[in-house]
Amino acid sequence: MKFIYKDLLNFLSEKPSIKNLSERLFQLGHEHEINGEIFDMEFTPNRGDCLSLIGLARDLNVFFGKAKPYKTFEGDIEELNLDFQNLSPEVCPKISFLEIEIEGNTNEYKPYLENYFSLLGNKKVNFFTDISNYVSYELGQPTHCFDAKTINDQLIFENRICEGSFQTLLGSNINLAGNNCIFSVNSEIVSLAGVMGGISTACSTGTKKALIECAFFIPEAIIGKSVKYNLASDAAHKFERGVDIQIQEKVLRRFIEIVREHASIKNIKIQSFDEGKVQKSSIPIDVKRINKILGIDLAEEKYVAYLNKLGFGIEKEIIVPTYRHDIASQNDLAEEIARVIGYNNIDSKPLEIAKKLDKSVDDVNKLKNYLIKNGFSEIINFPFTANEEKKSISIDNPLDTNRRNLRTSLKNSLLDNLLYNERRQKDSIKFFEISDLYTKSDQINQEKKLGIIISGRQGHNYLDFSKKLDHAYLSNLLNQDSDNSVLTIEEISRTEIKTKKKDKIFYLEIPIEKIPKHLFKLSESSIDRINFIKYQSVSEFPSSTRDFSFSISDIKKYDAVIDHLSDLNDKNLKDAFIFDFYENKKLNEIKVGIRFIFQSTLNTLSEEEIQQSVNKLLKPIVDLEGVSIPGL
Name residues contacting other proteins, limited to 229-288 (CB under 8 A): 240
Q: How far is the CB of 220 from other proteins (least distance, A)?
A: 4
Q: Is 87 helix (H, G, I), strand (E, B) or coil?
A: coil
Judged by CB under 8 A, the stretch of 39-47, 50-58, 136-144, 472-480 that binds other proteins is 39-47
Total residues binding other proteins (CB under 8 A):
112
Adjacency order of strands within the sheet including 377-378: 377-378, 428-440, 444-456, 505-511, 489-492
Q: Does 111 bind other proteins (CB under 8 A)?
A: no
Asked if 82 is part of the footprint of other proteins (rule: CB under 8 A), the reply reads: no
Q: Give whichever of 6 and 556 is closer to other proteins, judged by the CB atom.
A: 556
Distance CA 233, CA 136 (A): 12
CB 226 within 8 A of CB 234: no
According to CB under 8 A, which one of 17, 380, 483, 495 is a site residue for other proteins? 380
| Cβ proximity to other proteins, 483 vs 625, nearer residue | 625
Q: Could you tell me which stretch among 161-169, 306-314, 398-406, 512-520 binds other proteins (CB under 8 A)?
A: 398-406
Nearest to 592 by CA among 536, 544, 551, 620: 551
Least distance (Å) between residue 344 CB and other proteins: 6
- Contact with other proteins (CB under 8 A): which of 36, 171, 532, 625? 532
Query: C-alpha angle with apex 255: 249 to 259, nearest 5 degrees?
Result: 145
Residue 453 in contact with other proteins, rule: CB under 8 A: no
If one asks whether residue 34 binds other proteins (CB under 8 A), the answer comes out as no
- 375 near other proteins, rule: CB under 8 A: yes
Rounded to 10 degrees, the C-alpha dihedral 186/189/192/198 comes to: -100
Between residue 512 and residue 531, which ones bind other proteins under the rule CB under 8 A?
527, 529-531
Q: Helix or strand or coil: residue 286?
A: coil
Q: 428: which strand partners?
A: 456
- In 3-state terms, what secondary structure has residue 491? strand
Q: 123 or 534: whose CB is closer to other proteins?
A: 534
* Nearest approach, Cβ of residue 12 and other proteins (Å): 20
Question: Quick one: 128 or 229, whose CB is closer to other proteins?
Answer: 229
With CB under 8 A as the contact rule, the residue among 24, 260, 339, 595 that binds other proteins is: 339
The three-state secondary structure class of 582 is strand
Cα angle vertex 538, ends 528, 504, to 5°? 80
Question: Using CB under 8 A, which of 331, 480, 604, 606 touches other proteins?
Answer: 331
Site for other proteins, residues 343 to 362, rule: CB under 8 A: 343-344, 346-359
Q: How far is the CB of 195 from other proteins (least distance, A)?
A: 15
Stretch that binds other proteins, among 263-271, 278-286, 304-312, 378-386 (CB under 8 A): 378-386
If one asks whether residue 28 binds other proteins (CB under 8 A), the answer comes out as yes
In this complex, which beta carbon is closest to other proteins, that of residue 116 or of residue 550? 550
Question: Which of 74, 301, 396, 608: binder of other proteins (CB under 8 A)?
Answer: 396
Return phi, psi of residue 137, to 5°: -65, -40
Whether 538 contacts 497, CB under 8 Å = no
Q: For residues 406 and 383, is the Cβ–Cβ distance under 8 A? A: yes
Q: Does 444 bind other proteins (CB under 8 A)?
A: yes
602 binds other proteins (CB under 8 A): no
220 near other proteins, rule: CB under 8 A: yes
Q: Which of residues 458-497 bind other proteins (CB under 8 A)?
A: 459-463
Phi-psi region of 164 (alpha: psi -120 to 50; beta: other; left: phi over 0): left
Beta carbon of residue 318, minimum distance to other proteins (angstroms, whole number)? 16
For other proteins, the binding residues in 418-437 under the rule CB under 8 A are 420-421, 424, 426, 428-431, 436
d(CA 88, CA 631): 92
Of the pair 6, 373, the CB lying nearest other proteins is at 373
What are the C-alpha distances in Å from 443 to residues 237, 392, 395, 446, 512? 39, 12, 16, 10, 21
Q: Which is nearer to other proteins, 80 or 361 (CB)?
A: 361
Q: Binder to other proteins among 179, 374, 409, 549 (CB under 8 A)?
A: 374
Comparison of 64 and 116: residue with beta carbon closer to other proteins = 64
102-106: which pairs have CB atoms within 8 A and are 24 or more residues apart?
A: 102/127, 102/208, 102/209, 102/259, 102/263, 102/264, 102/265, 102/266, 103/208, 103/263, 103/264, 103/266, 104/263, 104/264, 105/263, 106/262, 106/263
Please tell me the total number of residues recorded for the chain in this structure: 632
Least Cβ distance, residue 555 to other proteins (angstroms): 5
> Which positions from 177 through 196 interact with other proteins, judged by CB under 8 A?
none
Q: Are strands 209-216 and 94-103 parallel, antiparallel or unpaired?
A: antiparallel
- Rounded to 10 degrees, what is the CA torsion of 458, 463, 467, 472? -70
Which residues does 628 contact at the CB level (< 8 Å), separation at least 6? 550, 551, 553, 622
Q: One-letter amino acid identity for 475?
A: S
Q: Segment 564-583, which members bind other proteins (CB under 8 A)?
A: 565, 577-578, 581, 583
**In the complex, what is the shortest distance from the CB of residue 513 to other proteins, in angstroms, rounded to a whole number?**
14
Q: Which of 190/333 has CB closer to other proteins?
A: 333
Residue 24 vs 260, nearer CB to other proteins:
24
State which residue, 349 or 500, has the beta carbon closest to other proteins. 349
